[in-house]
Amino acid sequence: AAPGAAATVDDLPLRENLRGKSAYGAPQLTVPVQLNTNENPHPPTKALVDDVAEAVREAARELHRYPDRDAVALRTDLADYLTRQTGVPVTVDNVWAANGSNEILQQLLQAFAGPGRSAMGFVPSYSMHPIISDGTDTTWLPVLRGADFALDVDAAVAAITEQRPDVVFVTSPNNPTGHSIPIAALRLLLDAASGIVIVDEAYAEFSDAPSALTLIDEYPTKLVVSRTMSKAFAFAGGRLGYLAAAPAFVEALLLVRLPYHLSVVTQAAARAALRHADETLGSVHALAAERVRVSKALADTGFHVIPSDANFILFGEFADSAAAWQAYLDRGVLIRDVGIPGFLRTTVGLASENDAFIAASDEIATMYL
Ligand code: PMP
């Protein structure tokens, strides 16, 4: 046994609010069809791989020096990309970057939440929002979504007004349900909020809904839009998340970020990947078409399918979703049990992967629907 293995977590002087909690745990299994973490299934092109390799080789000459603490060149490239993708002109001063949008969210809670403060989310939603709240000792205030998991805007406004959270999380499109929030509804939440509103747009490129970026100028002290290169951008392994907000937010985050948090290698690789944005995002249309195809196949088989604006689909209703999840795995298809009784979530994959998923679904429907 490893030295010290006799001690358990319960034996440690862990902070009270972390006792008994579970770690983030999407299973990482090697199976033929992996549709469980909402990645882009298209591997990088040879041109992108070559460009990243060359950029990292160049950067390696400077490995004895710390990286640019403020990642100015990378943030400039991200601002250009956001301006092109959303049509909202943003500059380097509006953009901050970190190791995945999870780190962006953590830095935001470090600065704007923490002990004695609270964060609200509309559940079911992204499971890391409560986990990052726990990690920063922020009180988590869950509010249930309405029928078919759509955001009930009136109930959301009422909850914000009554509970006055320091941070409101709005995920659009929402993981795991796939709904986008219209700008008009977002305005109502922003008007009701006394603290900040983080719009988590991890899946924005998959949706035709306008980005919350259009509201930054109107709500400079409240609105933060979080984004990532992990999903549509096919860069999950590169770990690069970012946000857009009024420049004051970027200044605030400098107070909590660790110096040099983005390595020389990360910055160089992300900039190289950004140069290939157009070819990478070319796969987004194909994935949207596959989403329509898979949704229809599931509905035709008799499943209840939640309409999705993203690269994943929530579907049910299973008599026993845990057993159904295992039945998919037994057929070599790894999907996600997000903890909603009766429902499972599949990521839209390559056509051949989706075919395998649909074939498994046809069999599993006869067993568990
Ligand atoms: N937000 C949402 C809604 C997500 O689904 C995810 C990834 N599952 C993230 C943020 C974090 O992704 P990353 O840290 O890779 O940017």
> How far is the centre of ligand 1, averaged over its atoms, from the C-alpha of 206 (Å)?
14
Assign 3-state DSSP to the chain and report helix, strand, coil percentages, each to 5.
Answer: 45, 15, 40
Q: So what's the ipTM on this one?
A: 0.99
Q: What is the arithmetic mean of pLDDT over 133-154?
A: 96
> How far is the centre of ligand 1, averaged over its atoms, from the C-alpha of 3 (Å)?
35
Instruction: Evaluate if residue 104 carries a pLDDT over 90.
Output: yes
pLDDT 10s digits, 169-216: 999 999 999 999 999 999 999 999 999 999 999 999 999 999 999 999
pLDDT 10s digits, 304-336: 999 999 999 999 999 999 999 999 999 999 999
Residue 25: what pLDDT? 79
Helix axes 277-301, 46-60, angle to 10 degrees: 130
Beta strands in the chain (DSSP E): 33-34, 95-98, 118-123, 139-144, 167-171, 196-200, 223-228, 241-245, 304-305, 312-316, 333-334, 344-347
Whether 126 lines ligand 1, by a CB cut-off of 6 Å, is yes
Residue from 35, 96, 102 whose mutation best tests the ligand 1 pocket (most atoms within 8 A of CB): 102
Whether 102 lines ligand 1, by a CB cut-off of 6 Å, is yes
Whether 175 lines ligand 1, by a CB cut-off of 6 Å, is yes
Atom 2 (ligand 1) nearest CA: 202
Whether 100 lines ligand 1, by a CB cut-off of 6 Å, is yes
> How far is the centre of ligand 1, averaged over its atoms, from the C-alpha of 191 (Å)?
26
Whether 266 lines ligand 1, by a CB cut-off of 6 Å, is no
Instruction: Report how far residue 139's alpha carbon sits from residue 202's, in angstroms, rounded to the nearest whole number.
Output: 23
Whether 286 lines ligand 1, by a CB cut-off of 6 Å, is no
Residue from 126, 201, 206 whose mutation best tests the ligand 1 pocket (most atoms within 8 A of CB): 126
pLDDT 10s digits, 246-273: 999 999 999 999 999 999 999 999 999 9
Whether 106 lines ligand 1, by a CB cut-off of 6 Å, is no
